[in-house]
Amino acid sequence: MDKRLKVLVVDDTDLNLALITKVVASEGHDAITAKNGEEAVAQYLSEAPDLILMDVMMPVMDGYQATAKIRELAKGKWIPVIFLSAKAQDQDQVKGLEVGGDDYLTKPVNLTLLKAKIKSMQRISEMQRVIAENADQLARYREENEREQRLAQHLLAKIIHNEAINNPLIRHWLMPAANFSGDIIAVAATPGDVLHFILADGTGHGLSAAINAMPVTEVFYGMSEKGFSISSIAQELNRKVKQLLPTERFVAAILVSVDLAQRAIRIWNGGAPATLFVSAEGQILHRWQPGHPPLGILDNDDFDPKTEVFSWREAGQLILCSDGVAEAESEAGEHFGSERIVQALSRTGFDQQFEGLKSAVIDFLGGHAGLDDVSLIGIHCPMDFAGETVMQEHGEKDFDFHLSPGRWKISITLGASELKSLDVLPLLISWLGQIKLTQKQCREMYLIITELYNNALDHGVLGLDSSLKSLEDGFDRFLTLREERLNNLLDACVEIELLRQRRNGAEYLQLRLKDSGNGFDASPILSCNLAVHNGFAGRGVALVRTLCEKLEYLGNGNEVVALYPLN
């Protein structure tokens, strides 16, 4: 049923008022009246009618003036006005419509026509009401959406902000497509001072894309801090993204570790464009193609955490891009493409390369934002970095270290399958984190455990020869061989024992490692001098020796004991 309208009837003659009021009532509506323009305006304000039937010639204020006034007061809200007038000239009707009338009937009023006009105005009025309501709702949605976007942007900025990104070796640039970006760039340093990077690109753009990528940063920072490898992080990210997001959502990501001391880069690339290593002269020295599907697609059993390793023999810059770079579209509909990336990087100087690529993309887009988020990271990989950061004191306050009366020992024995699959070191490190070591002690113990465990595994169990690393391409061959032997490992074990003890009134942590390998003659390594030793082989052990009060190899070299002083 049609809505009952409140109709304002305006006329200076009682007879007309009575007649029109009767018609209005017969149509099932309520009539209110006014006898001149001024009264009509007052009624409009106090009664808020749905329709006005307005006479033109009236004392005090005429119908034209009253209508103009009401339109002014209505401020955008539409109220239908039908003029009823004895003035039958065309120009009268035109004037009526000009001052804001919606229709014009001449007197004497044809009552059938009037009823039809009231019905028609009722329909239009209803349509107007729906449109106004929708527009209002849309405006509210829009406002709400903008507020949420601002909140998400704020959250995201907090999550991504990390001091590690201020490293002078790192350049980064992110240009979001929509209000804000689904691309995430994060940098973290492990306890062993290996730099970890992630460039993640969630499905879609804007808010929903950013939500997809958000869970990624939390896992990335948490695991990097504990010293997990990027393989382990990739595996966990895949599990998490798969668990949280629906089937059609995923996150393309490049995970990178840069070990400046070892000059080694490891990359896990799931569905992101190729990563490039560019020399100072702009030559592409290495290219990592995407080796895996994006995060969040495969079941964990099918997931492949394999990374691709490269060790640099001359200084270079590692360039990571999101797909928004190659897919940047010019006004002519052309794509930036991977060749333009290579071309832009073919300059001399790392800053020139990075800035060159950035401005090439901006120029190509012709001042517009891209269809997709555009992200770029450049990491300068120098030759002269060896060993500098590892020993740095990071200036945190050492909290009071009171000796607890408890002595403890933990020992674990790892078999072949654990050696293959378990990221052992973070487990031990997280244990050290629980026993109130200072930050400095934690870092040093991390270094000691890492070095000695890797030695036990690489040289003891896998029988790899360190001198391989000093050959041309030796590091890559070393790593390939290592992986091959680890995969084929059937029967082996490494025993790890950590012991808290007191000797002559001083506190120590003692680490003992024993492997099932054939052992080796450790004396050359133990006697080598850190300062003059430039090769990879043995440098780690020499470093460990400087941190420990005592380091000795037992048996035939397959057992090592390190004594680390705690005060």
Which residues of the chain form contacts with other proteins (CB under 8 A)? 201, 203-204, 247-250, 252, 270-273, 290-294, 297-298, 323, 335, 372
Alpha helices in 349-468 (DSSP H): 350-365, 416-421, 424-434, 439-455
Given CA atoms 133, 139, 142, 143 in this order, what sign does their dihedral have?
A: negative
Question: Which CB atom, from 96 or from 273, has the smaller least distance to other proteins?
Answer: 273
> Least distance from C-beta 215 to other proteins, angstroms?
17
Gap between the Cα atoms of 492 and 511, Å rounded = 20
Give the burial class of 157: count Cβ atoms within 10 A of its Cβ; 0-12 exposed, 13-18 middle, 19 or more buried: exposed
Question: Which CB atom, from 291 or from 565, has the smaller least distance to other proteins?
Answer: 291
Question: Which CB atom, from 118 or from 272, has the smaller least distance to other proteins?
Answer: 272
Question: Which CB atom, from 100 or from 291, has the smaller least distance to other proteins?
Answer: 291
> Least distance from C-beta 327 to other proteins, angstroms?
8
Contact 271, 212 (CB under 8 A): no
> Least distance from C-beta 203 to other proteins, angstroms?
5
> Least distance from C-beta 258 to other proteins, angstroms?
22
Contact 431, 477 (CB under 8 A): no
Tokens of 545: 């020796």
Question: Which CB atom, from 311 or from 322, has the smaller least distance to other proteins?
Answer: 322
Question: Which CB atom, from 101 or from 202, has the smaller least distance to other proteins?
Answer: 202
Question: Which CB atom, from 204 or from 356, has the smaller least distance to other proteins?
Answer: 204
> To which residue do tokens 């070191």 refer?
425
Mapped onto helix, strand or coil, the DSSP state of residue 283 is coil
> To which residue do tokens 């169990």 refer?
461
Question: Which CB atom, from 303 or from 446, has the smaller least distance to other proteins?
Answer: 303
> Least distance from C-beta 147 to other proteins, angstroms?
24
Question: Which CB atom, from 189 or from 244, has the smaller least distance to other proteins?
Answer: 244
> Least distance from C-beta 320 to other proteins, angstroms?
14
Give the burial class of 88: count Cβ atoms within 10 A of its Cβ; 0-12 exposed, 13-18 middle, 19 or more buried: exposed
Strands (DSSP E) along 214-331, which ranges? 251-259, 264-270, 275-279, 284-288, 308-311, 316-321
> Least distance from C-beta 314 to other proteins, angstroms?
28
Question: Which CB atom, from 302 or from 491, has the smaller least distance to other proteins?
Answer: 302
Helix axes 230-244, 206-225, angle to 10 degrees: 140
Gap between the Cα atoms of 92 and 83, Å rounded = 10
DSSP string, 80-119: -EEEEES--SHHHHHHHHHTT-SEEEESSP-HHHHHHHHH
Rounded to 5 degrees, what are φ and ψ at 348? -95, 135
> Least distance from C-beta 533 to other proteins, angstroms?
42
Q: Which amino acid is at 247?
A: T
Question: Which CB atom, from 177 or from 551, has the smaller least distance to other proteins?
Answer: 177
Question: Which CB atom, from 34 or from 213, has the smaller least distance to other proteins?
Answer: 213
> Least distance from C-beta 312 to other proteins, angstroms?
25
> Least distance from C-beta 273 to other proteins, angstroms?
6
Gap between the Cα atoms of 195 and 199, Å rounded = 13
Q: Which residues of 333-344 are buried (b: 16+ CB within 10 A; e: fewer)?
A: eeebeeebbbeb
> Least distance from C-beta 332 to other proteins, angstroms?
15
Gap between the Cα atoms of 208 and 199, Å rounded = 17
Gap between the Cα atoms of 77 and 206, Å rounded = 35
> Least distance from C-beta 311 to other proteins, angstroms?
25
Classify the phi-psi angles of 150: left when phi > 0, otherwise alpha if psi is within -120 to 50, otherwise beta.
alpha
